[in-house]
Amino acid sequence: MADITIRAVRKSYGKTATLHGIDLAFASGEFVVILGPSGCGKSTLLRMIAGLEDITGGEIEINGRVVNKLEPRERGCAMVFQNYALYPHMTVADNIGYALKVAGVPKAERRARIAETAKIVGLGDYLERKPAALSGGQRQRVAMARAIIREPGVFLFDEPLSNLDATLRVTMRAEIRKLHQRLSATSVFVTHDQVEAMTLADKLVVMNKGHVEQVGQPLDIYHRPASTFVASFIGAPPMNLMDARIDASATVARHEHLAIPISSAMAAALAGRDVTLGIRPEECRVVPAGEGLPARVDFVEELGSGRIVHAAFGSRIFAAAIPLDIRVASGDLIGLALPPAQLHVFDRETGRRLDVTHSIGRYEPVRQAAEAV
């Protein structure tokens, strides 16, 4: 059990900065997922917590102790690497027990703990094998066992599932979650896969270009993305976004020649402003041509449980998730209905979310991620 506080942490390699002042706090026992595209700095942040990268500026605190200057072994963290990093010349048992051997734990106790840990991850029968003789999933388990055996306060996962095939990834995802509940340590899990992020996280951190874009519970982030980046990064297919200008007199937002109906509160609060409007595909409704906004079907993706219509809407392609009972084909003229209550509004300049406070009838930017901590 350990809590982690990250204060104004920066990282630069020579003159190029990769992290620009990160502030985050993880509570003890939380499962934190850091999500972002490759190159956003998420792995660097994780490696700085682990002690594998120097901290250029700011402080990292684990359990109330500033660890900036501590060696990895002194921080009470264990890490699972993307490529597992098993020691190829050692057996599974030696791999799992290496940390204890280094720490000078007597042989008998070591053997007992290895056996116990191997049982937790279901490797009991493989202790004498070399890593080369294991499957991808088994190697993953060895890597986890190697972390578990140290009984660390913090588990660090660096994209641990990305080398596994799709089926195994789902299984291992569930196992990691179960393990987390059982061990009640703090887990920090880095990934670029939004499904992993949504399913695993107690707390989700979305990063982009060395900044934290948003911190919150996964569903909150899904429903109230704090920026156009988060809106387009989370959700598949991603949120439809379009530039528009709010026209107060007609309570519409004008996008090219189209007039999109909006709520009167929004019209009043944002009159005359240039904004970016967003709507999730599953909130778009397809209606007969002539109703709603005119669109032409470009192509249709069948998902089995439903279908996704990609339709030309103004000069852009919109995605709309529709139930199976609506049939459309390429080239059809259809109408798109965008319920005003489901529209997300972002500042055109900054890309930050503009939120309504209904009582006053004004739109305000949501609090910055850093303040939300």
Rule CB under 8 A: say whether 68 interacts with another protein.
no
Quick check: 19 binds another protein (CB under 8 A)?
no
**CA–CA separation, 146 vs 154, rounded Å?**
13
Element (H, E) at 267: helix 264-269
Amino acid type, 48: M
Q: Which of 21, 28, 98, 366 binds another protein (CB under 8 A)?
A: 98
Taking the CA atoms of residue 355, residue 227, residue 244 and residue 362 in that order, the dihedral angle to the nearest 10 degrees is 10
Name the residue among 152, 154, 153, 193 with its Cα closest to residue 173. 193
Angle formed by the axes of helices 92-102 and 136-148, nearest 10°: 20
178 lines the binding site for another protein (CB under 8 A): no
Give the whole-angstrom CA distance, residue 103 versus residue 112.
15
Q: Which of 32, 79, 212, 260 binds another protein (CB under 8 A)?
A: 79
Question: CA-to-CA distance for 207 and 36, rounded, in angstroms?
Answer: 5
Stretch of 79-87, 167-175, 199-207, 348-356 contacting another protein, by CB under 8 A: 79-87
Residues in contact with another protein, counted by CB under 8 A, come to a total of 24
Q: Does 107 bind another protein (CB under 8 A)?
A: no
**Tokens 């850091």 identify what position?**
34
| Min dist. Cβ of residue 90 to another protein (A) | 8
Nearer to another protein, 123 or 221 (CB): 123
Q: Rule CB under 8 A: say whether 306 interacts with another protein.
A: no
Asked if 73 is part of the footprint of another protein (rule: CB under 8 A), the reply reads: yes
Residue 89 binds another protein (CB under 8 A): yes
369 contacts another protein (rule: CB under 8 A):
no
Q: Which of 50, 93, 190, 266 binds another protein (CB under 8 A)?
A: 50
- Asked whether position 91 contacts another protein by CB under 8 A, the answer is no
Window 130 to 149, contacts with another protein (CB under 8 A)? 146
Strand pairing category for 186-191 and 154-158: parallel
**Among 34, 40, 45, 77, which residue interacts with another protein (rule: CB under 8 A)?**
77
244 contacts 277 by C-beta, under 8 angstroms: yes
Q: Which is nearer to another protein, 81 or 314 (CB)?
A: 81
Q: Specify the residue for token string 């095939």.
A: 165
| Backbone CA torsion sign across 67, 72, 77, 79 | positive
Sign of CA dihedral 21, 236, 352, 241: positive
Q: Does 87 bind another protein (CB under 8 A)?
A: yes
For another protein, the binding residues (CB under 8 A) are 50-52, 71-73, 77-79, 81-89, 98-99, 102-103, 146, 150
